[in-house]
Amino acid sequence: MSDLTEIRDAARAFIAEREWQQFQDPKSVMLALVGEVGELAELLQWLPADEARALSREEPLHTRLAEEMSDVLVYLVGLADQCGVDLGESALAKIEASAAKHPAEETRGVAPQK
């Protein structure tokens, strides 16, 4: 089974057992996702930028990062579930679309633009 499906099913069961489906409207789940994104940002905020990758692999930071990334993912999967989005399929299609939009030969070594 795909792991996004497994996470979705585990999250669904967690919510159903607690009768929390009533709280899972998209705007509420979106705000919960924002809360977890904030907790993840807090773990990185004061790290020296050029040491962040190395420091992110040291404990206890590594485990805390994994936990907060997991929280973000679980709410993202839950939001997709509320909105009837197949997240795995969409993400792969989006990477393909981005590749077509930003040809490698035109973007090589140039910082992505907004």
Q: Which of 59, 60, 95, 101 binds a copy of itself (CB under 8 A)?
A: 95
Measured over the CA atoms of residue 88, residue 89, residue 94 and residue 95, the dihedral's sign is positive
78 part of the interface to a copy of itself, by CB under 8 A: no
101 part of the interface to a copy of itself, by CB under 8 A: no
DSSP characters over 68-91: HHHHHHHHHHHHHHHTT--HHHHH
By CB under 8 A, what part of segment 58-77 binds a copy of itself?
A: 62, 65-67, 69-74, 76-77
For a copy of itself, how many residues bind (rule: CB under 8 A)?
81
Q: Which of 59, 60, 80, 101 binds a copy of itself (CB under 8 A)?
A: 80
Q: Which of 27, 59, 60, 101 binds a copy of itself (CB under 8 A)?
A: 27
Query: What minimum distance in Å lies between the beta carbon of 93 and a copy of itself?
Result: 7
Tokens for 53? 């990758």
Read off the DSSP letter of residue 2: -
On whether the CB atoms of residues 29 and 82 are closer than 8 A, the answer is yes
